[in-house]
Amino acid sequence: MSSTERNRMLSPLMDALIGQGLKNDVIVQHVSLLVAWAWCFRHRPELGLPDPKDRPGITVAMQTMRKALEAAGGSSNVASDFLEMNCTGRTVQDLQDIVATLEWPDVESLVTAIASLAEHALGQHAGQPPLPLELAKLMVRLGQTTGQRVLAAYPMSDLPMALADEAAERTYASTLQPALSEALVLICDAVVAAQDHGTQGPHADVVLSVPPMGAKVSSATSAGKPRSRRSDAVGLQEAWERSTSRSVVLVLGSTLFETTEYGLREGLVRDNAIDMIIQLPGQALLNTNVPPVLVVLDHQREPKAPISFVDASRLVPENARQRSKPPHRSTEFWTDLTKLLDQEVDGQASRLVTVAEIESNDFDLSVNRYIRGDATQKITDLGKSHEMHRLADITTSIRAQTLKGEEGEDGKRFIEIGGRDIDASGQIHIEEPRKQLQVAGRARKRAEQQLLRPGDVLLISKGSIGRVALVGDDCGDDWMAGQVFLIIRTQERGVVKPEYLYRYLASPMVQQYLSEIASGTGIPILKSNDIKNLPVPIPSLEEQERVISVHRQIMEEYEAIRTHQAQIEELSQRHWAI
């Protein structure tokens, strides 16, 4: 059955409810329940649903479905008489007549039709949107659910559960049961186990889990003390504990690198639990640009087997990220991803990584740490023809910290340099200090450690990562680096000159490299160790002087631009100035 045919079958129900002035989310809820009535009447006679041809009344059908849901362990949040109370009598009759005509060849066609309806109707509206259909199909495929007992954890896992139509049995474990979930539970004959996270929940062969993204929950430590954690990290841990075969969990990228979840990652890696990590692109989910990650866990992995890392964002061309339809609506993207997963070889978008390499990266599981970007490869190739040094071996680094104002007898006022004080030429330009800070005591000692000197290179390590500045001879004796900066100071009589280092860090190659190794989802972050380990080519002093000569030429051009801009401003004020 084609997608057009599936959508056409639901259109009469949609049109009838739209005509009653109902909102989109309400329409999706009740279309789902009406469709469940049609399917369960024909394919689940044990539920005792009335024949819609007899026009028994929608309320009667909904009451019967409510009892069936309760028998399965669930509960309904939808009033059984809602449609009869909010629609005209004629519309109620028409809806029953339409239900009597609905039929699908199999569960997958029916679930796909409901999912497509929810995705298109709710995708542009507030609230928690449904999981994209193609992503749900991928989770089922990765879970290898055929003949297995499947557990769907959390509300958004209802669609993968319903699509796992070759599973031996299905359990929906969630305290929240939206109307769409109610319909899917009845259609696929699932059991409901209303379990909160952290409690002793049901177990299964395969767990398909979509925890709420970024929500904070309370979780007990090994000592039994409660602590706040992100729900996706908790969901990942619970999926491993509740499965006996495989798990597929959708999480935020922060779970892969945040310090607070170091123990979770180390434990999963050392337990040989992780089979695959797939970095999805932004807009893989509805209503958000945050790129999610699929983590596949497997209890039957071979000992010391490598972990497969996949960067699916490589499948979205740069020029298509703004102009083409987003990945969640692109059939081509999901088709290409399926082909990529079938290859199981190292390539530009996938790589097998050993546990030893992961351990050397402090169990950071960010995909971009293991699949090299173009700039990373270029820097690696540069090492074949140049002597390379770690940045930490040729410089001293000072990470600036946040300071609060403090009065005291030894108080001193400092000018805090921020990202907005760096001009286009990479110089610090201050006409009027944007931020001044009076500090004393320990705060003053810390501020003095962050004082700038001529020749210092500043690198923004959080937010607008990669922006660099070279501190000039006009540096004030009260200039202090703000918290976004890492101060990079060349060693006296060192092998590298500040101007050369600045030009290297400001180069397009290194700027792209820093973007490739950055951690973080909403706000990118450069880790201190990553910056310290940045490879720097060290040519002869003569070659460095040639680079510095080019740097001076660039600075002269910027000075000429400023002169021209000043002349333009002066000319524009000669007539009709205010």
Copy the structure tokens of residue 352: 């097998």
The Cα 339–Cα 142 span in angstroms is 13
The number of C-alpha atoms within 13 Å of 113 and in the hemisphere containing its C-beta is 30
Instruction: Quickly list H helices, 144-210.
Output: 158-163, 179-187
The reported pLDDT for the residue numbered 459 is 94
The reported pLDDT for the residue numbered 128 is 55
CA distances from residue 270 to 232, 249, 261, 356 in whole angstroms, order as listed: 20, 19, 14, 10
In three-state secondary structure terms, 284 is coil
- How confident is the chain (578 residues) per 10-residue block, as mean pLDDT? 65 90 87 94 94 94 93 87 91 94 89 82 53 92 96 90 93 82 92 68 91 78 72 93 96 89 95 96 82 95 94 77 65 90 80 94 91 86 88 91 80 88 89 81 87 94 90 91 92 86 94 86 82 92 93 93 90 79
In three-state secondary structure terms, 25 is helix
The reported pLDDT for the residue numbered 149 is 96
The reported pLDDT for the residue numbered 321 is 46
Residue 552: CB atoms within 10 A of its CB come to 10
The reported pLDDT for the residue numbered 3 is 58
Q: Any idea what DSSP says for residue 413? A: E
The Cα 489–Cα 456 span in angstroms is 5
Q: 510, 469 in Cβ contact below 8 A?
A: no
Partners of residue 470 on adjacent β-strands: 457
